[in-house]
Structure 1
Amino acid sequence: MKKTFGIMAVVSLVIELVVALAIIGRIDDVGMDPVVVNECVHAIADNYGDEEAYPDKLDYAVIDSKGEVLYKNSDDVATSVNEAVKHGDIMLDLVVEGDVVGKVIFNNSTDEQIEGYKKSLTIAIVCITILQVLLIGLYYYYLRRTIIRPFEKLNSFAARVAQGNLDTPLELDRKHIFGSFTEAFDMMRSELKKSRAAEKKAMDDKKEMVAKLSHDIKTPVASIKSTSELGFALAADEKTRERFNLINIKSDQITALVSNLFNSSINDITEIEVKPSEQPAIVIQELIKSADYLNKAGAFTVPDCRVYIDRLRLLQAFDNIFMNSYKYADTAISVEAYEESFDGASCLAIRISDEGPGVMEEELPLLKEKYKRGSNTYEKDGAGLGLYLTNYYIENMDGKLVLENLTPGFSVIVYLRQV
């Protein structure tokens, strides 16, 4: 394409030069041919008086010696000596049989011819210039389409990648000089996106593992603490009481460290993986017994059905619910399991209730948000993540978490989808 534009530009310049030289050459040849003029005068002399035989190759007028016009073949011809001299016309004596009978005045059209040639030259130059401007415009359009615009797209693409936007692909077009580069750049974007996704997943997996281990450690530590408190109360001698008290203090230290580790890990995890599957409802009884390590829940039964759950995440959800009840209520806990329709779906409802103070009614919707706690709980340690994570787990099992105040007490209802 570039060669075509180059050839066309050169051709237009050559045409312009040739036309200019041709017209200038014709200007140099402007004027009447003396031979033709002399032949015309001789023809008039030979046929003097017979106007029909006069030649008509040139514009002229014949006047006699007194200045009277005897003949003219054009209205543009001067008809007097003064007028002819003023106009620069050619005047020759008309000699008939040796006598000068008058003059022949030939019209001098040199100026008109030069003006005509100048006009032709101007028109030719203007036309060729317009052609060249069109060529320049077409070439600019070609450059913009094949170089400038693709380069601007590459520049914009690089800016987006630098800002971390790896989702918008680079438009591929092999018709410009950056065609192969755009494909390579977009491949780089795709690979960078995969690399970042893999890195993010690895980091989240690592943090989730730390959070899971931290959470799993808290349950046996809490059991050790409760046992040490019981031993402290039942010990008969002071030395044994000191030992149980030391176990209790160290349990609190471990719990604080594990809580900090858990909270920092959960803080950075952008997405916790939940993998629900079809399970028999009877497993819920096992999970609740595992979560209720202080055995504060009474006996309950679970209807015979199948539910859509992730056993690990559901256990963690129950752990959070029971830990909150232990911490903020420290009363007996009742558990009910029953089938109920919720939001048009058949569900298994698990209601876990205590006899604690509950929370303010307007604070109920906030408890499922990250870092939100009831206004009457700030004397207790906590990060406001328990119910947030519980709600996250349940919703990712297509379930629903509902919080209610009782009189007295607090109730958490877990709706699990039946399958």
Structure 2
Amino acid sequence: MKLRSLILLSYGFALSLVIVIVFFSVKYMLFQQGIAYIVTLIMVIACTFAFILSYLLFLPALRSIRKLSRQSRKLAQGHFEKIRDIRSPKELAELAEDFNHMTERLEESFNQIRKSEDEKKTMIAQLSHDIKTPVTSIRSQIEAILDGMVDDEERPVYLESIQNQAMRLSQLTDELLEVTTTQENKKHKPVVRKVWIDKILVAALNSFQVQIKTEKRDIQIELKGKTPFIYTDEEGMNRILHNIIANALKYSDPGTPIKIQEKENDHFIQISVQDFGVGVPEKEQKHIFERFYRVEKSRNQKYGGTGLGLFISLEIAEKLGGNITVRSKSGEGSTFTVSLPKRVKE
């Protein structure tokens, strides 16, 4: 039952009660019949005016309730609109304020869900392309070998290509696993130990030893800092350096050098990895650390990648109390700088 009907019913009940009392009073000769009619008429007029006055007083509250009802239905349909111009009564104004706060939170949650769904769709589309390319290449080359179309001299070249494509598939799997692991371990504390800077750089570069040798890369390392070690999570730091170096090798041509420089200030060490490759356009630089973001579709078709490496690296660096920045210019190369505290807080 609506509030307006309840108000009318309450006054109707009060009027009926008065009439019944007057009727019994006349019946038992408590006062004369003429007086009873006058009392009844006065009560009818009084109740009518009281109802009209109460309705006018309740009208703002009724309008506010209707607004809340309309906005609730809109909210259920996915329209996140705030309620405005509800100032009285005070309880309904507070309820409207709470409703608006709830609407803001729901809108934020739905936007995060939509963004997550968009990222999933993007990831599926990218993985479909990235997986299909090496799989198709592996299949065609194996078929060529099985059909006898490859002579003995060309066979090692084909096998090496198959190996490279298989490694590419393995890298895609590893990157996805890293994202899952990074998200799951966000709340876990890092394992802090003494990490020697020169040793961890050598360990990170060893992963690319074959590629560096094949592409005839000149790796130039310059250690300017006076601190030979820091206290941090060794595994996390290794993953950061691995991803940054892999990025530098991927987006620069064979034969071009890679410069690695280490320096420090009072509380942080900084390791910069510089390449002389394609670079990153200025408008893209603020997005390159976003999950699944990849620069320029045409460039991605050439170089591949899931857009996860830099995202993972920044997540780990921030967890260790540091940061990663980029300085780049299209056609001239990029410099990624990893800043980590000399001692991670445990």
State the TM-score, normalized to the length of structure 2.
0.50
Contact persistence 1:19–1:121 (CA under 8 A): no
Separation of aligned partners in 2, 1:402 and 1:377: 21
What is aligned with 2:306?
Answer: 383
Matches within 5 A, 1:18-417: 18-19=24-25, 25=33, 117=35, 121-127=37-43, 130=46, 239=152, 242-243=155-156, 245-256=158-169, 259=172, 262=175, 271=183, 273-274=185-186, 275=188, 277=190, 279-280=192-193, 282-292=195-205, 293-295=207-209, 296=212, 297-298=219-220, 303-304=227-228, 306-307=230-231, 309-329=232-252, 330=254, 331-340=256-265, 346-361=267-282, 363-370=284-291, 371-373=293-295, 377-378=299-300, 379-405=302-328, 409-417=333-341
Gaps of 5+ in 1: 27-116, 166-199, 201-206, 208-213, 215-237
Cα-to-partner distance string for 1:359-405 (whole Å, 9 max, x where unaligned): 44554444334423268844322333332332333234332212124
Answer with 1 or 2: which has the greater Rg.
1
Q: Distance in 2 between matches of 1:265 and 1:162?
A: 38
Structure 1 pair 19/311, CA: closer, same or farther in 2 (3 Å)? farther
Using a 3 Å threshold, how does the CA distance of structure 1 residues 121 and 375 change in structure 2: closer, same or farther? closer
Residue 274 of structure 2 aligns to a residue in which SS? strand
1:416 CA drift (Å): 0.9
Higher relative contact order (CA 8 A, sep 6+): 2
Instruction: State the partner residue of 2:85.
Output: none
Q: Give the match for residue 131 of structure 2.
A: none
Letter in 2 for 1:282: V
User: Any idea what the Cα deviations from partners look like across 1:94-153, whole Å, max 9, x if unmatched?
Assistant: xxxxxxxxxxxxxxxxxxxxxxx5xx6224432366469869999xx9xxx9xxx99x99
Kept in 2, the 8 Å contact 1:403–1:412? The answer is yes
Q: Is the 8 A contact 1:372 1:384 kept in 2?
A: yes
1:315: Cα distance to partner? 2.9
Match of 2:140 in 1: none
CA distance in 2, matches of 1:262, 1:276: 21
Contact preservation (8 Å) 1:359, 1:374: no
Q: Give the distance between the partners of 1:326 and 1:315, measured in 2 at CA.
A: 16
Label 1:10 to 1:418 Cα distance change in 2 as closer, same or farther (>3 A): farther
Displacement after TM superposition at 1:252 (Å): 0.4
Counterpart of 1:112? none
The secondary structure found in structure 2 opposite 1:384 is coil
> 1:6, CA displacement in angstroms?
11
Aligned-residue CA RMSD in angstroms? 5.9
Please tell me the residue identity of whatever aligns with 1:14. V
Match of 1:88 in 2: none
Separation in 2 of the partners of 1:285 and 1:154?
Answer: 66
2:23 counterpart residue number: 17
Per the TM alignment, residue 322 of structure 1 is displaced from its structure 2 partner at its CA by 1.4
User: SS of the residue aligned with 1:348?
Assistant: strand
Offset of residue 321 of structure 1: 1.1
Q: For 2:275, give the aligned amino acid.
A: D
**Which structure shows the bigger proportion of residues in helix conformation?**
2
Q: Which amino acid aligns with 1:314?
A: M
Displacement of 1:311 after TM fit? 4.0
TM-score, length basis structure 1: 0.43
Residue pair 1:338, 1:348 contacting (<8 A) in 2 also: yes
Deviation digits for residues 202-256 of structure 1 (CA, Å, limit 9, x no counterpart)? xxxxx9xxxxxx9xxxxxxxxxxxxxxxxxxxxxxx6376146324314304524
Separation in structure 2 between the aligned mates of residue 158 and residue 360 of structure 1, nearest angstrom: 46
Q: Which runs of 5+ in 2 are unaligned?
A: 1-9, 81-112, 114-119, 121-126, 128-150, 213-218
In structure 2, what residue type is equivalent to 1:259?
Answer: L
Identity %: 16
Structure 1 pair 244–359 and aligned structure 2 pair: CA distance change class (3 A): same
SS of the residue corresponding to residue 239 of structure 1 reads coil
Say whether the 8 Å CA contact 2:268–2:340 is kept in structure 1.
yes
How many residues align? The count is 257
Structure 2 counterpart of 1:316, one-letter code: R
Q: Which amino acid aligns with 2:261?
A: E
Query: CA contact under 8 A between 1:279 and 1:306: conserved in structure 2?
Result: no
